[in-house]
Amino acid sequence: MDQWDIHKTGDSSPTLYSKKYRAYYHSLHGAIEESSHVFISAGLYYFQRQGNRKLNILEMGFGTGLNAFLTLISATKYDIDIDYEAFETDPLGPHIYQELPYYQLVPGSTLLDYTQIHDSDWAVPIAISSNFNLLKRNEDILQAAIASSKFDIIYYDAFAPSCQEQLWDSQLHEKLYDSLKPNGCLVTYCSQGAFRRTLQSIGYQIEKLNGPGKKREMLRAIKI
């Protein structure tokens, strides 16, 4: 039996339901809307607006590849060089990702952009385009060795704390804080008070931002 079901979200883009984790991969109000708002606008564009033309991004939870895909499109559009490193314990098979036609819904993208992201090998950095290198790591982020002071942005896209509590506690987040450069940031859709306090106790400065669609808040946490 397959581990995933496909669902349509409020902005017509698809998402997955994981039977293993009993959770959806994106907001049911809109998968592309959420990904664009939380990770691209509040993370990538936040740095791009400051004039950065070279960025290292870490993603927790590669999943459908939607965040990586939107980042690739933005890298081309704004001429930013990006090294993108993503963790994923449960990679999707082709029979699933081929049923998620995000490229048809994102202006300026192609089927090739999308399939290259998925078809590329794991565990080795691959040049998907002239300014987007992708390293997909089929590893549990809790166990993984992560370089210190390497990343400008962390896209923190784990399933919710109610589903995977360990992914929101201080042990992992101290390691992730260490992996950021000074002034680097972590962005996430989750604005729960307990998680906010965990990040503050580690040393982050927290910004509460408007969430996507009907969601009231999201977080951007800055390493100071």
Ligand X SMILES: C[S@@+](CC[C@H](N)C(=O)[O-])C[C@H]1O[C@@H](n2cnc3c(N)ncnc32)[C@H](O)[C@@H]1O
Q: Mark residues 26-45: x for contact with ligand X by CB under 6 A, - for none.
A: ---------x----------
Question: Which of 32, 40, 42, 66 is in the footprint of ligand X by CB under 6 A?
Answer: 66
Residue 9 within binding range of ligand X, rule CB under 6 A: no
Residues binding ligand X: what is the number (CB under 6 A)? 18
Residue 81 to residue 83: CA distance in whole angstroms: 7
**Using CB under 6 A, which residues numbered 140 to 179 contact ligand X?**
140-142, 157-159, 164
Question: Which of 4, 46, 84, 87 is in the footprint of ligand X by CB under 6 A?
Answer: 87
Residue 29 to residue 113: CA distance in whole angstroms: 25
One-letter-per-residue 3-state SS of 62-112: CCCCHHHHHHHHHHHHHCCEEEEEEECCCCCCHHHHCCCCHHHCCCCCCHH
Residue 96 within binding range of ligand X, rule CB under 6 A: no
Residue 134 within binding range of ligand X, rule CB under 6 A: no
Which stretch in 49-57, 63-71, 104-112, 191-199 sits in contact with ligand X by CB under 6 A? Answer: 63-71
Pairing of strands 180-188, 151-156: parallel
Which stretch in 84-92, 112-120, 123-131, 216-224 sits in contact with ligand X by CB under 6 A? Answer: 84-92
DSSP 50: T
Which stretch in 42-50, 72-80, 117-125, 139-147 sits in contact with ligand X by CB under 6 A? Answer: 139-147
Helices (H), the chain: 31-35, 45-48, 66-78, 94-97, 111-119, 170-179, 193-202
Residue 34 to residue 48: CA distance in whole angstroms: 19
- Do 178 and 148 contact (CB within 8 A), yes or no? yes
Binding site for ligand X (CB under 6 A): 25, 35, 61, 63-64, 66-67, 87-90, 140-142, 157-159, 164
